[in-house]
Amino acid sequence: MKAPTIGSWFTRGEIAAPADIEGAALRSDRFRLEREGDWRRLEQIVIRMEKGGLRRVDDEDLLALPTLYRTAASSLSVARETSLDAATLGYLESLVQRAWFQVYGPRKGFFAWLREFFFGGWSRAVREIWLDICIALFVCVAGAVVGWLLVAQNSDWYYRLIPIGLAGDRGPGASRETLLASLGTEESTSGLSTFAASLFSNNAGVCILAFALGFAFGIPSLMLLVHNMAMLGAILWLFSEAGLIVEFSAWLSVHGTTELFGILLSGAAGLHIGRSMAFPGERSVLEAASISGRRSAVVMVGVVIMMVVAAILEAFPRQLVEGAQNRFIIGGTFGVFWLAYFFLYFPSGGIVDDLDDAEGLA
Amino acid sequence: MSAAIAPLPTDKRQRTLITPEGIAIPVTIASRGSRMGALVLDFLILIFGLIAIFVFLAFVAEGLFEEMDNAVEGAISGAAEFLIILLILLIFMARYGYFLTMELGPRGATWGKRMVGIRVAARGGGRLTPEAIIARNLLRDIELFMPLIFLLIAPSGESGSFGLAGMVWFMVFMAFPFFNKDAMRAGDVIAGTWVVDAPRTRLAEALSTQGAAVQGTSDMTGARYEFGEEELSIYGEHELQTLERMLRDAQPEALSAVHATICRKIGWDPGAGDERAFLEAFYAQLRARLEGDMRFGKRKADKFS
């Protein structure tokens, strides 16, 4: 790429060879050559950080990083005023930007973040969207009641609400025995873990959908909740007609307390985004959306975890444990656990994000 | 990575971040085209990665795959069951995990984004938090995966107008970045992020330490090039930086063309064979003059000003 005479001018080693500063004809090039060593050192550190985080950088370099970063940044502002060397300016701009991303990059690793999430972050985020949870809960209950009433008035509604594949032989007019059999247990665990994995994948997908639809001012999230709960209401009616409401509730509660709670939270998280975009208050819409979006994202990570738990419960205990009482105990325990974890668990010493940001480079 | 040549500024996409210590850092919003390119690359990586894993598994555990066909009837061994779970989780991870974990890394970019040289950053110069990355990638699900699934099941005809709905949906979200000046997609809005160019330029050699730039003397012929006040006042910064690019590219034909043009402009008689030395000397002296003026606050943007 270079003319042959230039290629031999100085060799590019590991550390930049001290260039002929006096030999440079231009003042701006002398400025550059004097500082080039620092820039290159910063570049090396940044490259190492980009490859593998802080662990690959030794202490000495890490201590020098803020100083080197500021040197490069001030070099950039001086160079902008004194140099017309486009290549140097371009290099400095990219270097300062890359260094900035590393210096102000995520301070916590993923696992540190996860720990903070379990010990406080999750339950705090859930508490912060309490109003949306209340609205979503109201909508859920209303949906279930509507589903029940619709089917009670005209059983044709059942087929409109419940997809054929899901209904199976559970339909209006099915015998009590058929319905009871569908609440029965399996004899062996064979195939159940596959069932669990596919349940998880499916349910987590539904929850993420309920959350993501909150983007359209939360209305689709609520519609999704209403639809799902209307289905539940219809099935509840079906079983209560056959006098099996207690058995069905027990069967459902095993995983339902976890799963329905998760769906409720994801709908609430979606609603939270939608609500803050519709009513941003004094903030700009974009700002409001991003603040609520980040908060809801924390809730959603929790929802995915709840879906894992729910899928395991749905596939194993529900299919294997018999008896309404045992099923209620399992379901009730999980329900109480989630409620206690979200609303009674106030760990102290949680890291406040703003504080974290304010520390900056200091 | 080629030697550093400053990208021509595209003003509409230029933004300035002010860091907490008050340093202005220029960033360029990634073009919509490069983001599209990155997305296509990521999809190719995901699809070929999954195919490779499937082929590998099929190769290692051929019998188990045959057994999976019988899984519906319920007769299945533990190993095959494990394999099915593995596959279900693998697809789940590919759908949600790939973008998430890649963007959580120090580069803030998936492989596709790295290849086209862009990365995710917090809007307005804050710290990029894990929550933001999670939020923007959860939204990807409705922007991309849901409508794609609609489109995939549409041809079967079972779902009525699902295909059309998926198409409209897809179009709405794909068009989203075109309706705001920061080229944000819906996920960026929710997460408070944007996608910026992440140039990785290498420091090029200083031109004024080389060849005829130093003394104005040609190594080859010994001729000395000195330009007077009048000759140097023709060109401005734009021409200087164009000349810099040409000197760094070092294409002989381009250099001799430029040499001829400059000679005509300043009224010299263009010789032949020593173009590079001439241009180096001209570059160094023009830059010295322009930078000298710059220190006194006089700037000349191009030859017309």
Of B3, B106, B250, the CB nearest to A3: B250
Out of A26-40, A198-212, B7-21, B32-46, pick the least confident: B7-21
In this prediction, residues A282-296 reach a mean pLDDT of 87
Compute the distance between CA of residue B277 and CA of residue B221 in angstroms, rounded to an integer: 9
In this prediction, residues A216-221 reach a mean pLDDT of 82
- Residues in chain A closer than 8 A to B16 (CB atoms): none
- Residues in chain B closer than 8 A to A27 (CB atoms): 288, 291
For A185-196, how does the pLDDT look when each residue is reduced to its tens digit (9 = 90+)?
A: 665 555 666 667
Residues 165-204 of A with CB under 8 A from B: 190-191, 193-194, 196-198, 200-201, 204
At residue A297, the pLDDT reads 87
For B36-89, how does the pLDDT look when each residue is reduced to its tens digit (9 = 90+)?
A: 999 999 999 999 999 998 888 888 877 666 666 655 555 566 677 777 778 878
Q: How far apart are the first and last CA of chain A?
A: 43
Number of neighbouring beta carbons within 10 Å of residue B48: 10
What are the two backbone dihedrals, phi and then psi, of residue B80, each rounded to the nearest 5 degrees? -65, -35
Residues 171-230 of B with CB under 8 A from A: 186, 189-193, 198-211, 213-215, 219
Question: Which of the two residues, A292 and A202, has the higher pLDDT score?
Answer: A292
Out of A10-14, A255-259, B279-283, pick the least confident: A10-14
Compute the distance between CA of residue A274 and CA of residue A293 in angstroms, rounded to an integer: 9
The distance of B31 to chain A (nearest Cα, Å) reads 17
For A148-206, how does the pLDDT look when each residue is reduced to its tens digit (9 = 90+)?
A: 898 888 878 877 777 766 656 666 767 777 777 777 666 555 566 666 777 777 777 77
Query: Are the beta carbons of B239 and B303 closer than 8 angstroms?
Result: yes
What is the SS3 assignment for chain B?
CCECCCCCCCHHHEEEEECCCCCEEEEEECCHHHHHHHHHHHHHHHHHHHHHHHHHHHHHCHHHHHHHHHHHHCCCCHHHHHHHHHHHHHHHHHHHHHHHHHHHCCCCCCHHHHHHCEEEEEHHHCCCCHHHHHHHHHHHHHHHHHHHHHHHHHHHCCCCCHHHHHHHHHHHHHHHHHHCCCCCCHHHHHHCEEEEECCCCECCCCHHHCCHHHHCECCCCCCECCCCHHHHCCCCHHHHHHHHHHHHHCCHHHHHHHHHHHHHHHCCCCCCCCHHHHHHHHHHHHHHHHHHHHHCCCCCCCCCC
Closest CA to B166 of B184, B187, B182, B152: B152
**Residue length of chain A:** 362
Q: Do A290 and B19 touch (CB under 8 A)?
A: no
Q: Do B189 and A361 touch (CB under 8 A)?
A: no
* Distance (Å) of CA A238 to CA A84, A176, A233, A318, B256: 80, 10, 9, 20, 89
Q: Do A106 and B129 touch (CB under 8 A)?
A: yes
The distance of A314 to chain B (nearest Cα, Å) reads 15
Residues 234-293 of A with CB under 8 A from B: 273, 286-287, 289-291, 293
What are the two backbone dihedrals, phi and then psi, of residue B29, each rounded to the nearest 5 degrees? -65, 130
- pLDDT over 60 (residue B9): no
Q: Do B25 and A19 touch (CB under 8 A)?
A: no
At residue A138, the pLDDT reads 93
Cα–Cα–Cα angle for A269, A270, A275, rounded to 5 degrees:
100
* Distance (Å) of CA B136 to CA A271, A357, B58, B128: 16, 20, 34, 12
Q: Do A290 and B284 touch (CB under 8 A)?
A: no
* Distance (Å) of CA B98 to CA B103, B127, B138, B195, B272: 9, 22, 12, 17, 58
Which residue has 């990634």 as its token pair? Answer: B30
For B107-139, how does the pLDDT look when each residue is reduced to its tens digit (9 = 90+)?
A: 888 999 999 999 998 887 778 888 888 888 888
Number of neighbouring beta carbons within 10 Å of residue A261: 20
Which residue has 């480079």 as its token pair? Answer: A361
Q: Which two tokens stand for residue B63?
A: 């019998």
**Residue length of chain B:** 305
At residue A32, the pLDDT reads 84
Closest CA to B27 of A103, A93, A314, A232: A93
pTM: predicted TM-score of the whole model, two decimal places? 0.76
- pLDDT over 80 (residue B141): no
For A93-125, how does the pLDDT look when each residue is reduced to its tens digit (9 = 90+)?
A: 888 888 888 887 766 666 777 888 888 888 888
What ipTM did this prediction achieve? 0.79
For B154-183, how does the pLDDT look when each residue is reduced to its tens digit (9 = 90+)?
A: 666 555 666 677 777 778 888 888 888 888
Compute the distance between CA of residue B209 and CA of residue A33 in angstroms, rounded to an integer: 10
Closest CA to A192 of A326, A328, A312, A322: A312
At residue B67, the pLDDT reads 63
Q: Which two tokens stand for residue B33?
A: 């085209």
Cβ partners under 8 Å of residue B5, min gap 6: A86, A87, A90, B201, B204, B245, B248, B249
Which residue has 């009433």 as its token pair? Answer: A149
Q: Do A208 and B96 touch (CB under 8 A)?
A: yes
Of A51, A85, A295, the CB nearest to B244: A85
The distance of A163 to chain B (nearest Cα, Å) reads 13
Q: How far is CA B7 from the centre of its chain?
A: 11
What are the two backbone dihedrals, phi and then psi, of residue B92, each rounded to the nearest 5 degrees? -60, -45
